[in-house]
Amino acid sequence: MAKRRLNLNRVPTPKQSPKTRIYNFDEVALGYTEEEAREEARRCLRCKDPGCVSECPISVDIPGFIAAIEEGDFPRAVKILKTENRLPGVTGRVCPKEVQCQSGCILEKKKEGSSVAIGCLERFVADWDLARGNKQRPEVKPTGKRVAVVGSGPAGLTCAAFLAGKGHHVTIFEALHTPGGVLVYGIPEFRLPKEIVRSEVDYIRTLGVDIQMDSVVGRLQQVDELLKEFDAVFLGIGAGAPIFLNVPGENLSGIYFANEYLTRINLMKAYRFPDYDTPVMAGKCVAVVGGGNVAMDSARCALRISSAEKVYVIYRRSEKEMPANREEIENAKEEGIIFKFLTTPVRFIGDDRGRLKAVECIEMELGEPDDSGRRRPAPKKGSEHIIDVDVAILALGTKPNPLIPMNTPGLEITKYGTIEADQNGRTSKEGVWAGGDIVTGGATVISAIAAGRRSAEDIDAWLKSVSA
């Protein structure tokens, strides 16, 4: 085979201009055309030992599906991609590709930022398939086994899809009125259109998965009751309880926790007011506290719903330590978000009616690394200052809701409130698995997908062993 030409120049990703997109919730990234996708696919060097695959949490055959794109064989690209990933339309958009698959690309080592655009190519394949109705279905023989999946976020959907592909009958119990978990309530439309999530969920339904909405396990029924009806249970319930800043004034009117704020905007359609009459405060000066993707999403939503004069992101470390995807940070900067690095709030200040009017902050200095491996921030004496704001959004991470753990005898939890589980998701309770944020704490969509996949494989093996 002829040696492939080394091309360091990535095909640019089309997207809305900042001046246009700050006034709408349409998707920012517009995706490759067929010609652009094939041109980008030609840059892949088909490495003998592909670093992109080893850096992918679910070990997708990345060179394989990219080769199929280059050849124009898109059905084969879909088949290869969906062998390991049942939600490619989602992961192609929200994966932290810069620090995962694309970081292992040999072209990245040749020139920073020149890796093959694996995420864009994944999205292209997924969207090509979705536009044609997700026609590929695995042929399965029913096993007669029944599995309950609690939660329809990325871990639950993935686990359900792979178990259905093994021939088991799967029922998902979802507490909300719409399936998708964090994919529908947490990630904004401009980053992950809800139509994409709906299409992926519809595909999983066609595999034979039953999804029951408004089903709050831990209230309406307990895990022990599910075990009487089902052969196994998977808990993919996420970790949606807020973490507090614990500073004075945190209960003032005008202060939101990010999960509530994003749920109102995304799931309850506050961004389409007055068509959807969901109340959410639209401030002129907004402060978002935090440095992850949730903080970026909150800041960019605040800019869009209020036409705010100023939106600040207040983060206690430097930009280098920010956990948000690099692409999201750059998009936020392009849109005019103001970053206040090495800064943290010490109190919120209200008016005589109990409404937020300002936040007092202090500058920080970085010291030695802490348990996260990042340098620990410490207050700089005498650097206190006031920032006038009328809305604040706290994006400090989340912790598990204790509803199911406290109502499930024999289910061991950690000191952080997460469920104890091994690498395959097996818990201390016979017949119960868990995966995603309820095990790891707040993490990425792709890590939850990987957990759901591993648990599905282990549940399948266990069901076969107990029936042998």
Tell me: do 125 and 264 sit in the same domain: no
pLDDT for the residue numbered 373? 79
In a domain, 2, yes or no: no
Q: What is the pLDDT of residues 222-261, one digit of tens each?
A: 999 999 999 999 999 999 889 999 999 999 999 999 999 9
Tell me: do 234 and 278 sit in the same domain: no
Q: What is the pLDDT of residues 301-350, one digit of tens each?
A: 999 987 778 999 999 999 999 999 999 999 999 999 999 999 999 999 99
Confidence check: pLDDT of 368 > 90: no
pLDDT for the residue numbered 349? 98
Task: Give the side-chain half-sphere CA count within 13 A for 175.
Answer: 20
Point out the domain boundary residue: 379, 398, 417: 398
pLDDT for the residue numbered 22? 94
Tell me: do 246 and 394 sit in the same domain: yes
pLDDT for the residue numbered 1? 47
Which tops the pLDDT comparison, 136 or 198? 198
pLDDT for the residue numbered 191? 96
In a domain, 180, yes or no: yes
Pairing of strands 375-379, 169-173: unpaired
In a domain, 331, yes or no: yes
In a domain, 11, yes or no: no
Taking residues 13-39, what's their average pLDDT? 95
pLDDT for the residue numbered 3? 60
* Cα–Cα distance for residue pair 242/244, rounded to 1 Å: 6
Residues 6+ apart with CB under 8 A from 187: 94, 262, 266, 297
In a domain, 171, yes or no: yes
Q: What is the pLDDT of residues 377-404, one digit of tens each?
A: 999 999 999 999 999 999 999 999 899 9
Tell me: do 217 and 334 sit in the same domain: no
pLDDT for the residue numbered 280? 82
Confidence check: pLDDT of 2 > 80: no
Taking residues 397-417, what's their average pLDDT? 93
Element (H or E) spanning 378, and its range? strand 375-379
Tell me: do 293 and 387 sit in the same domain: yes
Confidence check: pLDDT of 55 > 50: yes
Tell me: do 381 and 250 sit in the same domain: yes
Which tops the pLDDT comparison, 156 or 110? 156
> Would you call the peptide bond into 274 cis, given omega within 30 degrees of 0 as the criterion?
yes
pLDDT for the residue numbered 308? 79
Q: Per-residue b/e over 405-437, b at no fewer than 16 CB within 10 Å?
A: beebeebebeeebbbebeebbbbebebbbbbbb
Residue 32, domain CATH? 1.10.1060.10
Tell me: do 228 and 361 sit in the same domain: no
Q: What is the pLDDT of residues 146-180, one digit of tens each?
A: 999 999 999 999 999 999 999 999 999 999 999 99
Counting residues of the chain whose pLDDT is more than 90, the rounded percentage is 82
Tell me: do 34 and 154 sit in the same domain: no
Confidence check: pLDDT of 358 > 50: yes
User: Number of folded domains in the chain?
Assistant: 3
Taking residues 124-146, what's their average pLDDT? 86
In a domain, 344, yes or no: yes
Chain mean pLDDT for the chain: 93
Displacement of CA 415 from its chain's centroid (Å): 24
Tell me: do 300 and 376 sit in the same domain: yes
pLDDT for the residue numbered 112? 67
Phi, psi of 124 (to 5 degrees): -60, -45
Residue 428's pLDDT band (boundaries 50, 70, 90)? very high
* Cα–Cα distance for residue pair 371/144, rounded to 1 Å: 46
Structural domain including 277 reads 242-398
Pairing of strands 375-379, 241-242: unpaired
Tell me: do 384 and 355 sit in the same domain: yes
In a domain, 43, yes or no: yes
Tell me: do 216 and 193 sit in the same domain: yes
Taking residues 130-149, what's their average pLDDT? 85
Residues 6+ apart with CB under 8 A from 20: none
Taking residues 58-70, what's their average pLDDT? 96
Taking residues 344-365, what's their average pLDDT? 97
In a domain, 220, yes or no: yes
Point out the domain boundary residue: 398, 415, 439: 398
Point out the domain boundary residue: 398, 422, 440: 398
Tell me: do 23 and 98 sit in the same domain: yes
Residue 361, domain CATH? 3.50.50.60
